[in-house]
């Protein structure tokens, strides 16, 4: 087992990894920017080192500073959390050459799955269904030819993309050339690469993902699916497990396909295979996230497993102790991402929290690094807490979430709590009738919340 783990992240996920380290008896090292000097992950770590100014490019994305912090403190492993450097093959390479264990997949697999075009081809080759589309587009003429062959509407996506950047939906050939140029420019600005590809657009889809874990002995397991359909601008807002759209036969069949594909590419550690579901309940591979997910607690609630501890033990070389390819799912879990945002416009709401009370009671979990009088800085993601509930069934989970939201107090800044309350009270949500455009109904003009 590792003698010391450095956590290359901040906020609630850094605190979450610290909890896992403490339970495993491993000292944890926190790194922090000047803006996070008084953060809880700094307070509860065994050691803490400042790695730079507030902007993430000067701190949490500064590979040299992070590696230096690991060397100074004598850490022999680095947990990247999610975001920042979690899916950086370069960072994983640097860890490896520096004699540090990167708690995640190999650099080669991160590189493969981080290129959406290569990932689609690899998964199709290994048996997962993918939407018809193109490879990396070389010209507007090629895009027009592919779009004509598969039929409109189509969607252009950045090969290295995420979060909706470098993405454009095209309904006819008239707007294709300009949309292609815009998407390429946006992809280059956001990801350093203008490469984009095209695929058939699925109107009103659902977003389903399978949680996987792989050890260094060739074993891969899946831990069921999560429903991540409630989104705004391709960013997840509410997640739950299991999905109302996946029965046990589908879970077993698709989970088995996922396992076979990941065994063939040599996948290790935590990962999530994401699918789009069309109106006929067909699933199509979308992408893979080669890290722990923000929404991993819902899987923990229905499986009883600690995924972060599993990440650490797998990275240390221990085999997965789960017999078979999966575990049974118990009850139903829902997670609401509580963000420092205006509930009407979704604009960020940085500032000091003047009052803070988290709900408790049976089946309620809150993952947060916030506290009363803490400051939510404007430099990072707006997530301040993950409110997770578990119930015997979906109805109980929804009722439990509704009362927990009512008892969650955050004063001094605006939060997304009112949006979550509206969703929990919505008849269609309660009935399981929704798609990725669901949140438009809460916008005054019916447009996608910005």
Question: Confidence class of residue 344 from pLDDT cuts 50, 70 and 90?
Answer: confident
List where CATH 3.30.1490.20 sits in the chain: 132-200
Q: Quick check: 397 pLDDT over 60?
A: yes
* Cα gap 308→17, rounded to integer Å: 7
- Write the pLDDT tens digit of every residue in 145-168: 999 999 999 999 999 877 778 899
The domain made up of 5-103 is a member of CATH 3.40.50.20: yes
Among all residues, which ones are annotated catalytic?
A: 291
CATH second-level architecture of 206-442?
A: 2-Layer Sandwich (3.30)
Query: Domain spanning 132-200: which superfamily?
Result: ATP-grasp fold, A domain (3.30.1490.20)
List where CATH 3.30.470.20 sits in the chain: 206-442
Strand 168-170 with 154-158, pairing: antiparallel
pLDDT, averaged across the chain? 95
User: What is the number of H-type helices and E-type strands within the chain?
Assistant: 14, 20
Q: Quick check: 442 pLDDT over 90?
A: no
78 neighbors 8 (Cβ within 8 angstroms): yes
Question: Confidence class of residue 447 from pLDDT cuts 50, 70 and 90?
Answer: low
Over residues 56-63, the mean pLDDT reads 98
User: What does the pLDDT read at residue 444?
Assistant: 53
- Write the pLDDT tens digit of every residue in 310-325: 999 999 999 999 999 9
Over residues 111-121, the mean pLDDT reads 94
Question: Confidence class of residue 443 from pLDDT cuts 50, 70 and 90?
Answer: low
Residues 6+ apart with CB under 8 A from 275: 207, 208, 209, 210, 254, 283, 284, 285, 286
User: What does the pLDDT read at residue 450?
Assistant: 47
160 to each of 88, 114, 298, how far by Cα in Å? Answer: 11, 6, 27
Q: Quick check: 448 pLDDT over 70?
A: no
User: What does the pLDDT read at residue 160?
Assistant: 86
Question: Of the ranges 104-108, 290-294, 442-446, which one carries the lowest mean pLDDT score?
Answer: 442-446
User: What does the pLDDT read at residue 26?
Assistant: 98
* Cα gap 58→156, rounded to integer Å: 32
67 to each of 43, 92, 93, how far by Cα in Å? Answer: 21, 11, 12
Question: Confidence class of residue 449 from pLDDT cuts 50, 70 and 90?
Answer: low
Over residues 353-359, the mean pLDDT reads 98
User: What does the pLDDT read at residue 166?
Assistant: 87
């Amino acid at each position: 087992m590792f003698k010391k783990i450095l956590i290359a992240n901040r906020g609630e996920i850094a605190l979450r990894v610290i909890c896992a380290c403490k339970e495993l008896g491993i000292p944890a090292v926190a790194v922090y920017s000047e803006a996070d000097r008084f953060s809880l992950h700094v307070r509860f770590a065994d050691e803490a080192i400042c790695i730079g100014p507030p902007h993430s490019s000067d701190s949490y994305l500064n590979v040299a500073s992070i590696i230096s912090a690991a060397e100074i403190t004598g850490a022999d492993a680095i947990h990247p959390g999610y975001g920042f450097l979690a899916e950086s093959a370069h960072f994983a390479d640097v860890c490896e050459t520096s004699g540090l264990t990167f708690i995640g997949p190999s650099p080669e697999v991160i590189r493969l799955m981080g290129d959406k075009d290569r990932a689609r081809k690899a998964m199709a080759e290994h048996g997962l269904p993918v939407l018809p589309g193109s490879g990396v587009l070389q010209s507007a003429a090629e895009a027009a030819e592919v779009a004509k062959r598969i039929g409109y509407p189509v969607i252009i996506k950045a090969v290295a993309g995420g979060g909706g950047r470098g993405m454009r939906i095209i309904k006819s050939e008239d707007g294709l050339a300009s949309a292609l140029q815009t998407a390429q420019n946006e992809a280059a600005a956001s990801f350093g690469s203008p490469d984009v590809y095209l695929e058939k657009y699925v109107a009103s889809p659902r977003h389903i993902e399978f949680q996987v874990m792989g050890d260094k002995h060739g074993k891969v397991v899946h831990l069921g699916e999560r429903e991540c359909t409630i989104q705004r601008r391709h960013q997840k807002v509410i997640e739950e497990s299991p999905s109302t759209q996946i029965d046990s036969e589908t879970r077993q069949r698709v989970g088995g396909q996922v396992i076979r594909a990941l065994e063939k590419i040599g996948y290790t550690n935590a990962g999530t295979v994401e699918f789009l579901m069309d109106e006929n309940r067909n699933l199509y591979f979308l992408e893979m996230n080669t890290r722990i997910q923000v929404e991993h607690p819902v899987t923990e609630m229905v499986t009883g497993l600690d995924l972060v501890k599993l990440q650490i033990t797998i990275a240390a070389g221990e085999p997965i102790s789960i017999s078979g390819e999966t575990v049974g799912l118990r009850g139903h879990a829902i997670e609401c991402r509580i963000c420092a945002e205006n509930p009407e416009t979704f604009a960020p709401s940085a500032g000091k929290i003047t009052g803070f009370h988290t709900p408790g009671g049976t089946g309620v979990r809150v993952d947060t690094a916030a506290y009363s009088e803490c400051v939510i800085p404007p430099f990072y993601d707006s997530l301040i807490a993950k409110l997770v509930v578990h119930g015997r069934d979906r109805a109980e989970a929804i009722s439990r979430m509704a009362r927990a939201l009512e008892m969650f107090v955050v004063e001094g800044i605006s939060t997304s709590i009112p949006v979550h309350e509206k969703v929990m009270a919505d008849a269609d949500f309660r009935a399981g009738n929704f798609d990725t455009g669901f949140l438009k109904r809460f916008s005054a003009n019916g447009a996608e919340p910005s």
